[in-house]
Structure 1
Amino acid sequence: MASMYIKRIVGCFLGQLILLLALQPAAANDYWMVSEAPTWVEQAQPDLARSPSTEAVDFLLADSQVNLTSESPVQYRHYSYRINDSLGVEENSDIEIGFNPDFETIILHHVHILRDNKVIDRLKAEDIRVTDLEPDASSRIYSGYKQLALWLKGVSAGDVVDYSYSVKGHNPVFAGHVSYFFDLGWSLDVGAVNVRVITKRERPLNYRLINSDASVSTSSHGSEIEYRVALKNTAAVIDEGDGPQWEAIYPYLQVSDFDSWQQVAEWAVALFERGKGKLSPDLVEYIQELKLQPRQQAIENAIAFSQEKVRYLGIEIAENSHLPHSPAEVFENRYGDCKDKSLLLVTILNQLGVEANPVLVSTQQTKSVGNYLPTYGLFNHAIATFSYQGQRYWVDPTMTHQGIGLDSYFQPDYGDALIVSKQTDSLTMMPNVAPAQQSIAVTQQYHASDYLSPVVWRIRSEYRGREAESMRYQFARAGKKRLAQDYFNYYAQLNEGLEVMSDLTVEDDRVQNRMVISEEYLLPNFWKLDDGNANFGFYADLADSYLKLPQQVNRSQHLGIYGPILMSQKMELWLPEHINFIWEDEQKVIENDFIRYTIDLSAKYRKLILEHSYQTKLESVPPSSVSEHIRVLREAREYLEYSNGVNNVTSDPSYDEVKALVSHIQKQQKSLRQ
């Protein structure tokens, strides 16, 4: 069965904070304290006269202020929102603040409910809990993050929730550098948005607005510099969906103290140097074994070891959010996250005399990293790169079930990459992936001995590159028996009375990074007999999966295209006799700047062949071209179904007798199988 399977790569640095686990009471001063707002904070007040909307909640104020003038940075937040109905009460009566207890402390300033011109204090120690927060535990990543939760009592529709707090501290892994992304817009209107950053005059910051036409004002006060953004009545930002992952939908203010990507590389080099540590005797022994092998074989075995022998497990607590564990530790434990596995592989390759380096990439921003200010804050993944015989290779040690051999590995194009090297002074663009490097070719043969008997249906699906690796992963995870049943169930929904004729088979060629799945079924109802005619139809289900229309067709945002991919779905009907089929257009080509789709129909002697081919050219469609692209998709979809028929197949006087005999044989065969 053909399928379009996308293996999701989980970023191995700290993710968003969303899960709630292991409740425990917290006493003040364990992780948090109560104090007045710092004197440097400029107080902002929500506009309580703002008219309520029809939404469940109205956001009145989002105030962010950061002070970088002391040794330990302080981030101040003040939020205010009005709850309008019971849904708003249900979903917005809890305050949750994420923090890292290894180097951060929460300082609560006030928690108020504003009702009927009264201020109700809801900052009660007995209502506060600190919870463990492991948002990526399902991906085997553990960060040690915690969440302060305050469950507000007595919240009613019409109330305004108004609270402020500060987070004091900074991860020492960043060596004093700072990088912030301040939200300037949300999925709802906001009455007022304020951002204020204070720094020392001798430490000016770089800033950049993303998806915003706001202005940043700067001012100097003695030994300090301030950066400000003040917005009123910001409009809701609607995510239209189906966009490329790299596209930033919401407006941001980015702030960074890095002046160049070279400085970011220098920070990363120092970090990975710290992580190297001393090689253990066991690791040295393993490297010595590799040195006895031919160079290329040793490289391939080192890659296979880092991918298959070291399981993925991220212990990213405290500085290990970005600081890799030592190769000796990873080798002994046989587990690590992306940066751990990458440093282990790089260390082994260096010991083999191969020039190799870790690489920082973003699985989200990918090719748009260069559009941002230099920062460590964009990278959520680490891979490795090395040079061998004059050619540069890129390897992701977290990937599994890959091909065998340097020329067989599939490496996703992560776009702008930062090679962790003292020679790095800019980003490096990773090589583009050609559609042929991830392809699916499905051939479906229909063998008809006559117009009455069940048709033998043989399906051969060939996967290459990433698609082959994805299928290996599926078979390893679910098992051949389970997938065979899933495939049968899928086809049975499209073909009434479908029966399995032989077991599913798998041919796996990891040297060529190629996988072939073969299936064989009986189609009792392939022919639709009507008034002496035998009608039939084809449906290009695989092609259909690539030609889906987006949920929102009138767009102001990019439309993503899955790919690069090369797909073909060929249907061959072997007829009982020679039939002269007439097709007005034997080949139809539908294409634009983004995809190419072809339909080929041919008939020769007893065989009718219909082939659908699809190839991507680009990975996204800009808003100005979406309407034309939708037109192309709609035109292509008109060819997904094909029907035809053979006339006068039941004119033979013995037809009824043959039909009855076939029906009897089918019943006997079914009885024997049961």
Structure 2
Amino acid sequence: MKPFAIAFSLLLYTFLVAAQNNKPFVGPLPKWITLNETAVAPDSLLAEAEDGVLYLAYEKQVNPAANTTFYKAAIQMRTQEGVEANSEITVNFDPSYQKLIWHHIVIRRGNSRINQLQVSRQKLMQQESDRAKHLYDGSLSAVQILADVRKGDIVEYAYSLAGRNPILGNLYTGTFDLQFSIPVAWLYYKIVVPPHRQVQFVNRGNLQAPTFNKQEGMAVYEWKAANLMPLRTNNNIPYWYDPYPVTMISEYKNWEQVVDWALPLYAVSTSATDNVSKLATTIKKQHTSDLDRLLAALRFVQDEVRYMGFEMGEGSYRPHTPQQVLENRYGDCKDKVFLLCRLLHDLGIAAYPVLVNSGKGKVLNQMLPAPTVFDHVVITAQVNGKTYYFDPTISNQRGAVDDIYFPDYGYGLIVRAGTKQLSALPRQKPAKVEIVETFEVHNLQGEASLSVITKSYGSAADELRTKFGNDSNREIQGGYTKFYQQYFKNITPQSLTFANDSITGMVTTTEKYKIEDFWGEVRNLKKATLEPFVITNLVSRPDNNLRTAPFALGAPVNCNEKIIINLPEPWEFHNDKIQLDHEAFSYKAQYKGIGSRVELVYNFQGKKDHVTTAEFNSYKKAIKKLDEQIGYTLTYSIEDATASGSAVGLLSGYFPYWYIMLGLSVFITYQWKKRR
């Protein structure tokens, strides 16, 4: 049996044993909770209801000393569509350390309360929602399908989750969301702690402080809100920006305390006889300088240890031993980092794990100290007095050590004795792309050929190496062709080649096409309008809505694009230069032609990944100005045989195949919408 099959079988067996021991059951309400009546929604809130339902209540009450959290929800079915979409209840839990205790599931219909709680009818499902990412956590979903739900019914359910991941210890951390994208008639949060336990609270986006009182010798903090209207936010917000107000809670006093929690997890121990030590010895023999040894160790972990993780229970935070990771040749971020730390330690290079948040790292400094605010691990190393940062989960990185791309994680916590605060991590170098598009226009009937040579550096090259390693040339060529089909409908691909320079890290792609419709014809004019095809699609164009949130631009990129047109006869050209500068970008264009040849030279430099609300209007004006002069039109009069070329406005809207062209996840921006 293959190692993966053995490992997966062991995981499945562990999961089955845990699930058998922690089946959901029915239990009484915890004595420490506060009982609240389900609210009646006013008409103003009903008007805001979406998807055929209205949340009449959402409650979360926490008792850290008992390691128990109580939940309650009440949902009113407003339409038949709401009934169809919301007539099942799903609760997720980790059977390795949690117990699911049901208190009630009822349908309230008029004055009747119809009991629907039947644990025997519930299905336990192992969803493994991150399996596509090669991550397995063993969590379960308890699903109950409700019977005889009707329009107008109120479905109310309550349950508790008992247990806490033992690796997190006894200190509590958590969050309370204070507003949502949907209306909520009653929102209630409560935390009950012994008076000797010191709990910190930080509000973001909401100044509501908890009320405090004492009950039976316990400190009680409560948050109450009635008739919460939905928060409508803008589209195209930066991935790290969360517009929804939240209260963060933590018993950790400072970041040093989090470091003390993490240090034992990454304690390096050396064995002169294990395979990790043997690998370090091999690297040392093959490379003479510390910098070359660092690069060799990094590439081994990145490219020879595939990404996969079993993150059940303690495995969500505790890495496997470096020896295990090396033997298995797979691991998740923390496994890869721990193996690389051990390799570099054996090579005499100082290296430490760095805890980061892959999505919210830029605002990590606004969060309370807690292990749970991190979802990723990277590494820092010191060589010859210089500090480097790497992400061992990124494969196919090439080039010199100083040129290796490191994502913009914002802030991180270095797991090193004596660390007392977060560190501002180095900002990523902008991806660099150079494109030369050469048109050979054979005649005035529309026949032409197009050659596209693209040189990519940094993260752009990394992504292309991965793309060409995973996808077929046919798939990639099809995407590239669709990109140019927005400009030339009758374009046919001829060839596509890929070249990788592992020394410099540069990737070169060469595309060749045949075009049948280079010229369009309008009122006895032959006409061809060109624009910087790649740059046009790279620019983020805002809508006309008022902004209450930052506007996402994607990761900064430095793009040089040169268009060469060799025409079938001499032409009269209007040469020109254009330059635009804004806080978010700079743009340059130069048009020059002589004889039968014209060159259009463009540069676009993104300076940051978003514009603030204060900068938004000036950004809109700058993009409008850019679009008014980004194109270049060639015309030929059929009647008097005169030809000319001059700058014009934007020919077309931007096109998503730019992302396909480069395969750049670093350019992709996405909206994040919180909804409960």
Normalised by the length of structure 2, the TM-score is: 0.87
CA contact (8 A) 1:136 1:142 kept: yes
CA contact (8 A) 2:570 2:596 kept: yes
Aligned to 1:69, the other structure's residue is in SS state helix
CA deviation after TM superposition for structure 1 residue 278, in Å: 5.9
1:332 aligned onto 2:327? yes
Worse-matched range after superposition: 423-432 or 221-230? 221-230
For 2:316, the equivalent position in structure 1 comes to: 321
2:440 to 447, 460, 470: 447
CA distance, structure 1, for counterparts of residue 371 and residue 544 of structure 2: 34
2:619 to 619, 624, 629: 629
For 2:56, the equivalent position in structure 1 comes to: 60
For 1:399, the equivalent position in structure 2 comes to: 394
CA deviation after TM superposition for structure 1 residue 276, in Å: 5.9
1:571 aligned onto 2:563? yes
1:468 to 458, 461, 470: 461
CA distance, structure 2, for counterparts of residue 422 and residue 434 of structure 1: 29
For 1:246, the equivalent position in structure 2 comes to: 240
- Residues 205-251 of structure 1 show CA distances to partners (whole Å, capped at 9, x for unaligned) of 00111221322222344642122111111111224221111111222
1:646 aligned onto 2:636? yes
Task: Kindly provide the amino acid, as one letter, of the partner of residue 633 in structure 2.
Answer: S
- Going from structure 1 to structure 2, the CA distance change for 1:45 and 1:522 (only over 3 Å counts) comes to same
Worse-matched range after superposition: 505-514 or 639-648? 639-648
Worse-matched range after superposition: 325-334 or 547-556? 547-556
For 2:380, the equivalent position in structure 1 comes to: 385
CA deviation after TM superposition for structure 1 residue 641, in Å: 3.3
Task: Kindly provide the amino acid, as one letter, of the partner of residue 548 in structure 2.
Answer: S
CA contact (8 A) 2:389 2:406 kept: yes
CA contact (8 A) 1:28 1:34 kept: no
Task: Kindly provide the amino acid, as one letter, of the partner of residue 63 in structure 1.
Answer: E
For 1:117, the equivalent position in structure 2 comes to: 111
- Residues 28-64 of structure 1 show CA distances to partners (whole Å, capped at 9, x for unaligned) of 9742221111111110111136444453111111111
For 2:529, the equivalent position in structure 1 comes to: 537
CA distance, structure 2, for counterparts of residue 649 and residue 609 of structure 1: 27
Structure 2: tracts of 5 or more residues without a match: 1-14, 643-676
CA contact (8 A) 2:365 2:411 kept: yes
RMSD: 2.4
CA contact (8 A) 2:405 2:429 kept: no
For 1:14, the equivalent position in structure 2 comes to: none
CA contact (8 A) 2:194 2:219 kept: yes
Worse-matched range after superposition: 117-126 or 160-169? 117-126
CA contact (8 A) 1:205 1:257 kept: yes
Aligned to 1:350, the other structure's residue is in SS state helix
For 2:158, the equivalent position in structure 1 comes to: 164
- Going from structure 1 to structure 2, the CA distance change for 1:414 and 1:327 (only over 3 Å counts) comes to same
For 2:484, the equivalent position in structure 1 comes to: 491
CA deviation after TM superposition for structure 1 residue 346, in Å: 0.7
For 1:302, the equivalent position in structure 2 comes to: 297
- Residues 98-121 of structure 1 show CA distances to partners (whole Å, capped at 9, x for unaligned) of 111011101111111111111111
- Residues 335-354 of structure 1 show CA distances to partners (whole Å, capped at 9, x for unaligned) of 00000000000110011100
1:344 aligned onto 2:339? yes
- Going from structure 1 to structure 2, the CA distance change for 1:455 and 1:621 (only over 3 Å counts) comes to same
1:81 aligned onto 2:75? yes
CA contact (8 A) 2:38 2:56 kept: yes
CA contact (8 A) 1:543 1:640 kept: no
Normalised by the length of structure 1, the TM-score is: 0.87
For 1:356, the equivalent position in structure 2 comes to: 351
Worse-matched range after superposition: 475-484 or 313-322? 475-484
CA contact (8 A) 2:190 2:222 kept: yes
For 2:278, the equivalent position in structure 1 comes to: 285
CA contact (8 A) 1:547 1:636 kept: no
Counterparts in 2 of 1:71-220, with a 5 A limit? 73-220=67-214
CA deviation after TM superposition for structure 1 residue 588, in Å: 2.0
CA distance, structure 2, for counterparts of residue 193 and residue 651 of structure 1: 75
For 2:219, the equivalent position in structure 1 comes to: 225
1:599 aligned onto 2:551? no
CA distance, structure 2, for counterparts of residue 251 and residue 258 of structure 1: 21
CA deviation after TM superposition for structure 1 residue 177, in Å: 2.1
For 1:37, the equivalent position in structure 2 comes to: 29
Task: Kindly provide the amino acid, as one letter, of the partner of residue 334 in structure 1.
Answer: R
CA contact (8 A) 1:532 1:650 kept: no
Worse-matched range after superposition: 388-397 or 276-285? 276-285
CA deviation after TM superposition for structure 1 residue 453, in Å: 7.0
For 1:614, the equivalent position in structure 2 comes to: 604
Percent identity between the aligned chains? 24
CA deviation after TM superposition for structure 1 residue 547, in Å: 2.3
- Residues 443-499 of structure 1 show CA distances to partners (whole Å, capped at 9, x for unaligned) of 111123543572232111111110011111111111234322432344345323324
CA distance, structure 2, for counterparts of residue 177 and residue 480 of structure 1: 52
Aligned to 2:58, the other structure's residue is in SS state strand
Task: Kindly provide the amino acid, as one letter, of the partner of residue 443 in structure 1.
Answer: V
For 2:411, the equivalent position in structure 1 comes to: 416
CA deviation after TM superposition for structure 1 residue 179, in Å: 1.0
- Residues 611-668 of structure 1 show CA distances to partners (whole Å, capped at 9, x for unaligned) of 332211222111232233223223322334331223469869xxxxxxxxxxxxxxxx
Aligned to 1:400, the other structure's residue is in SS state coil
Task: Kindly provide the amino acid, as one letter, of the partner of residue 65 in structure 2.
Answer: T
- Going from structure 1 to structure 2, the CA distance change for 1:100 and 1:534 (only over 3 Å counts) comes to same
For 2:646, the equivalent position in structure 1 comes to: none
CA contact (8 A) 2:107 2:155 kept: yes
CA deviation after TM superposition for structure 1 residue 140, in Å: 0.4
- Residues 131-156 of structure 1 show CA distances to partners (whole Å, capped at 9, x for unaligned) of 11311011000001011112111111
Aligned to 1:473, the other structure's residue is in SS state helix
Number of residue equivalences? 621
Aligned to 1:393, the other structure's residue is in SS state strand
CA deviation after TM superposition for structure 1 residue 359, in Å: 0.8
CA deviation after TM superposition for structure 1 residue 311, in Å: 0.4
- Going from structure 1 to structure 2, the CA distance change for 1:401 and 1:650 (only over 3 Å counts) comes to farther
Counterparts in 2 of 1:650-661, with a 5 A limit? none
CA contact (8 A) 2:540 2:553 kept: no
CA deviation after TM superposition for structure 1 residue 582, in Å: 2.1
CA distance, structure 2, for counterparts of residue 476 and residue 128 of structure 1: 44
Task: Kindly provide the amino acid, as one letter, of the partner of residue 471 in structure 2.
Answer: A
- Going from structure 1 to structure 2, the CA distance change for 1:196 and 1:111 (only over 3 Å counts) comes to same
For 1:8, the equivalent position in structure 2 comes to: none
CA contact (8 A) 1:279 1:328 kept: no
CA contact (8 A) 1:403 1:410 kept: no
Counterparts in 2 of 1:6-21, with a 5 A limit? none
Aligned to 2:373, the other structure's residue is in SS state coil
CA distance, structure 2, for counterparts of residue 227 and residue 279 of structure 1: 54
- Residues 162-206 of structure 1 show CA distances to partners (whole Å, capped at 9, x for unaligned) of 111111000011122221011222211111111111111111100
Task: Kindly provide the amino acid, as one letter, of the partner of residue 45 in structure 1.
Answer: E
- Going from structure 1 to structure 2, the CA distance change for 1:423 and 1:552 (only over 3 Å counts) comes to farther
2:422 to 427, 430, 433: 427
Aligned to 1:304, the other structure's residue is in SS state helix
Task: Kindly provide the amino acid, as one letter, of the partner of residue 611 in structure 1.
Answer: V
CA contact (8 A) 1:182 1:254 kept: yes
CA deviation after TM superposition for structure 1 residue 512, in Å: 1.5
Aligned to 1:81, the other structure's residue is in SS state strand
Task: Kindly provide the amino acid, as one letter, of the partner of residue 409 in structure 1.
Answer: I
- Going from structure 1 to structure 2, the CA distance change for 1:131 and 1:532 (only over 3 Å counts) comes to closer
Aligned to 1:413, the other structure's residue is in SS state coil
Aligned to 2:253, the other structure's residue is in SS state coil
Task: Kindly provide the amino acid, as one letter, of the partner of residue 463 in structure 2.
Answer: S
Aligned to 1:494, the other structure's residue is in SS state coil
